[in-house]
């Protein structure tokens, strides 16, 4: 082929930046979360690199983040004592959109194969920094890397395709190490530079960042001072009586100071009694980047053979929503820590079986080595014991939702994760007794509201031995099946299995509370009320007719028999005892098309 002339794409960088930032962030206030997570990443990087290069920490300053506001001028300053940036790093990191220094760092660390490095690095995409322009007209980044003896200032404006870098020369502005970002807020966004606003944002979005975040707050204390005699004279005509009695008055002295605004002790190390639901919810939303509160949580410590602490959550929504979701065991739903150090969230069924992979949470163990690898995880006896305990706790938590006074909660759970539990019936026989009480079905007595198997069993007639079900493609066809007639006459309840996976799940369970599941469409349905005398009579009367019908239908049916299971319909087509039910047959057909 002839080679054409090559062109580079042209782009208006400032427009592109604007587009990226505004489409990624629908909510302006996240700018603070992004900048704090960059600061936290920078502190993490420093801590990690200084293990092998202690020189990086030679400036004896604490690892921390400080945020100061100037509400009169609409300025916010965020300062960290992290790894900082050299001049070249400023160009590379802040001068290239969508190129993330954090991603590069991660890659380098992975290549050098050092364990534990991935700890908590939030940034991955390389656009977080630009969210500063959601609220700022101008941003400066003054930064000092321990690898350089100079401090540099990056400066950029909104709607401008360029930026400047200069050396910091003002001795007042020199910092020992780290980065100071100054936001000059747009006119309409000046309200963000309010100390209380910042405090709320930190509590909302960055409560569980693992370095202390201090905010600059106005404080006050009351003290008693002697009443000023000149004042007394001025106010003399107001209230003469009290004036005479009081010789001192209380005044509020105002001053400004740094205040620790986040919680740096991991929430799972606290006593569950001292943690509020709101705190669990915030922790959950922060850690898993969720916007809805969880349906339930469970915070526990196990002792004995293996010791660990854990908080588990049931999300409010399954990631695939209501549709036919695929169960994905490779979620990043469980974060494993060893002695409070984040190890990994990449599991593939080691800590939870596939069907429970929707459960989110953290697990912190003191018994695993810090350099635990995937191979170790897969082989570990400790992990196997942990898995068993975690699964039990997850079931307790789900059972808790089902026992909640608010029936809506479990309805929500069931709508999102019912399929997962049915899958559990197929994949986890040892846990059948935990899964079965959590299942829900419609029935001939309850077409609007789902019932549990316990409710079914409570409603059983005294002489009824089995749990009856019919599988169908819809509630309407389940309701109208002629198989129901005799059972309804006897007021036996029949479960309506209308989800394709229902029948497979029930066949796997086989029984519940020693009562067998019985398909009412199968050939040998015995309702325990046979009258042998009468059957004999009828057989004699209609036997020849059956033979005749069988002859006429030939191979289309396996046999034609006299049935005692109908009351008003003249005949019914049933499946053989060992064959597929009509429903299964339909499913199998659907799959081969």
Q: Which is nearer to Mg ion, 179 or 581 (CB)?
A: 179
Comparing CB distances to Mg ion, the nearer of 38 and 508 is 38
Identity of the residue, 11 or 590, whose beta carbon is nearer to ligand ADP in the bound complex: 11
Minimum Å gap between C-beta 200 and ligand ADP is 22
Footprint (CB under 5 A) of Mg ion, residues 423-452: none
CA atoms of 150 and 165, how far apart (whole Å): 12
Are 436 and 515 contacting, i.e. CB atoms less than 8 angstroms apart? no
Looking at the Cβ atoms of 123 and 294, the one nearer to Mg ion is: 123
Phi/psi region, residue 514 (left: phi>0; alpha: psi -120 to 50; beta: rest), is left
* 116 marked ligand binding residue: no
The one of ligand ADP, Mg ion, none whose footprint includes residue 179, by CB under 5 to 8 A per kind, is ligand ADP
List 74, 84, 128, 500, residue binding Mg ion (CB under 5 A): 128
In whole angstroms, what is the distance from residue 92 CA to residue 126 CA? 11
How far is it, in rounded angstroms, from Cα 38 to Cα 44?
Answer: 10
Residue 190 neighbours by CB under 8 Å, 6+ apart: 71, 74
Cβ-contact 329, 348 below 8 angstroms: yes
Tell me which residue has its CB nearest to ligand ADP. Answer: 123
Q: What is the 3-state secondary structure (H, E, C) of 248-294?
A: EEEEEEEEEEEEECCCCCCHHHCCHHHCCHHHHHHHHHHHHCCCCCC
Q: Judged by CB under 5 A, does residue 179 bind Mg ion?
A: no
Residue 100 assigned to a binding site? yes
Q: How far is the CB of 38 from Mg ion (least distance, A)?
A: 4
Order of strands, edge to edge, in the sheet holding 334-338?
296-302, 308-314, 360-365, 334-338, 341-344
Question: Which pair of structure tokens corresponds to residue 336?
Answer: 């494993």
d(CA 21, CA 135): 11
Q: Is 564 annotated as a binding residue?
A: no
Distance of CA 514 to the CA centre of its chain: 37
What is the H or E stretch that residue 419 is in?
Answer: helix 407-427
The structure tokens listed for 385 are 């014991």
310 binds, among ligand ADP, Mg ion, none (CB under 5 to 8 A by kind): none
**Stretch of 31-39, 49-57, 218-226, 301-309 lying at the interface with Mg ion (CB under 5 A):** 31-39
Please state the length of the chain: 593
Taking CB under 5 A as the binding criterion, the range among 118-126, 290-298, 492-500, 556-564 that sits at the site for Mg ion is: 118-126
Whether 79 has a binding-site annotation, put simply, is no
Q: Which stretch binds Mg ion (CB under 5 A): 36-44, 314-322, 381-389, 451-459?
A: 36-44
Closer residue to Mg ion in complex, CB, 128/178: 128
By C-alpha distance, which of 139, 274, 122 is closest to 205? 122
Cα distances (Å, whole numbers) of residue 99 to 124, 265, 589: 9, 32, 50
Which of 38, 79, 365, 521: binder of Mg ion (CB under 5 A)?
38
Q: Smallest distance from the beta carbon of 100 to ligand ADP, in angstroms?
A: 3
374 in a labelled binding site: yes
Is 101 annotated as contributing to ligand binding?
Answer: yes
CA–CA gap between residue 581 and residue 593 (Å, rounded): 19
H helix and E strand count, the chain: 18, 19
**Residue 498 assigned as binding residue:** no
**Is 85 annotated as a binding-site member?**
yes
To the question of whether residue 128 is assigned a binding role by annotation, the answer is: yes
When asked if residue 353 is in the footprint of Mg ion (CB under 5 A), the reply is: no
Positions touching ligand ADP (CB under 6 A) are 34, 38-39, 42, 80, 82-85, 93-94, 100-102, 123-129, 179
Beta bridge mates, 249: 225
- 101 makes contact with Mg ion (CB under 5 A): no
| Footprint on residues 509-548 left by Mg ion (CB under 5 A) | none
Q: Is position 400 annotated in a ligand binding site?
A: no
Query: For residues 17 and 386, which CB has a smaller minimum distance to ligand ADP in the complex?
Result: 17
Q: Given candidates 82, 123, 294, 315, which one binds Mg ion under the rule CB under 5 A?
A: 123
In the complex with ligand ADP, which residue's Cβ is closer, 156 or 418?
156
Please state the closest distance from residue 335 (CB atom) to ligand ADP, in A: 19
| Binding residues for Mg ion (CB under 5 A) | 38, 123, 128
Binding-site residues from annotation for ATP = 34, 38, 80, 85, 100-101, 124-129, 179, 374
């Amino acid at each position: 082929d002839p080679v054409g002339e090559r062109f580079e794409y042209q782009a208006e960088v400032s427009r592109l930046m604007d587009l990226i930032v505004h489409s990624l962030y629908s909510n302006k206030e996240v700018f603070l979360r992004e900048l704090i997570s960059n600061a936290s990443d920078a502190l993490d990087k420093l801590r990690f690199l200084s293990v092998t290069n202690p020189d990086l920490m030679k400036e004896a300053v604490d690892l921390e983040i400080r945020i100061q506001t100037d509400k009169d001028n609409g300025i916010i300053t965020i300062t960290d004592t992290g790894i900082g940036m050299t001049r070249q790093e400023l160009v590379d990191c802040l001068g290239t959109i969508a190129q993330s220094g954090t991603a590069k760092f991660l890659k380098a660390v992975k290549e050098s194969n050092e364990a534990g490095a991935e700890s908590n690095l939030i940034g991955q995409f390389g656009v977080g920094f630009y969210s500063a322009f959601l609220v700022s007209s101008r941003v400066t980044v003054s930064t000092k890397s321990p690898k350089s003896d100079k401090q540099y200032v990056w400066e950029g404006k909104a709607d401008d395709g360029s930026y400047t870098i200069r050396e910091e020369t003002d001795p007042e502005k020199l910092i020992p190490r780290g980065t100071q970002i100054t936001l000059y807020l747009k006119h309409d966004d000046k309200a963000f530079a309010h100390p209380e606003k910042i405090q709320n944002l930190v509590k909302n979005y960055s409560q569980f960042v693992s370095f202390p975040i201090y905010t600059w707050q106005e404080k006050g204390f009351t003290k008693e001072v002697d009443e000023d005699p000149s004042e007394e004279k001025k106010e003399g005509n107001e209230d003469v009586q009290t004036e005479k009695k009081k010789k001192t008055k209380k005044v509020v002295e105002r001053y400004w100071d740094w205040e620790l605004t986040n919680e740096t002790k991991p929430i799972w190390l606290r006593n569950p009694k001292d943690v509020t639901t709101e705190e669990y919810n915030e922790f959950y939303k922060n850690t898993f980047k969720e916007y809805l509160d969880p349906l339930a949580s469970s915070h526990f410590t196990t002792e004995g053979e293996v010791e660990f602490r854990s908080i588990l959550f049931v999300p409010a929504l399954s990631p695939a929503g209501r549709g036919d979701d695929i169960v994905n065991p490779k979620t990043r739903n469980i974060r494993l820590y060893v002695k409070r150090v984040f190890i990994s969230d990449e599991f593939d069924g080691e800590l939870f079986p596939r069907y429970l992979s929707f459960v989110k949470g953290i697990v912190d163990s003191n018994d695993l080595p810090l350099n635990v690898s995937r191979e170790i995880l897969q082989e570990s006896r400790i992990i196997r014991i942990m898995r068993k305990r975690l699964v039990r706790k997850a079931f307790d938590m789900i059972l808790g939702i089902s026992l909640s006074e608010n029936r809506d909660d479990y309805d929500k759970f069931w709508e999102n994760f019912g399929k997962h539990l049915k899958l559990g019936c197929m994949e986890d026989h040892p846990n059948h007794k935990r899964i079965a009480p959590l299942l829900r079905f419609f029935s001939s007595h309850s077409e609007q509201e789902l019932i549990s198997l316990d409710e079914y069993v409570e409603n059983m007639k005294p002489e009824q031995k089995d749990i009856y079900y019919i599988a169908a493609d819809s509630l309407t066809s389940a309701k109208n099946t002629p198989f129901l007639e005799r059972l309804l006459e006897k007021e036996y309840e029949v479960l309506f299995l209308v989800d394709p996976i229902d029948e497979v799940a029930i066949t796997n369970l086989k029984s519940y509370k020693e009562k067998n599941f019985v398909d009412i469409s199968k050939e040998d349905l015995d309702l325990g009320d046979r009258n042998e005398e009468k059957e004999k009579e009828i057989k004699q009367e209609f036997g020849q007719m059956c033979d005749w019908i069988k002859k006429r239908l030939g191979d289309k049916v396996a046999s034609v028999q006299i049935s005692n299971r109908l009351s008003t319909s003249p005949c019914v087509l049933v499946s053989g005892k060992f064959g597929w039910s009509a429903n299964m047959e339909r499913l199998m057909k659907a799959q081969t098309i």
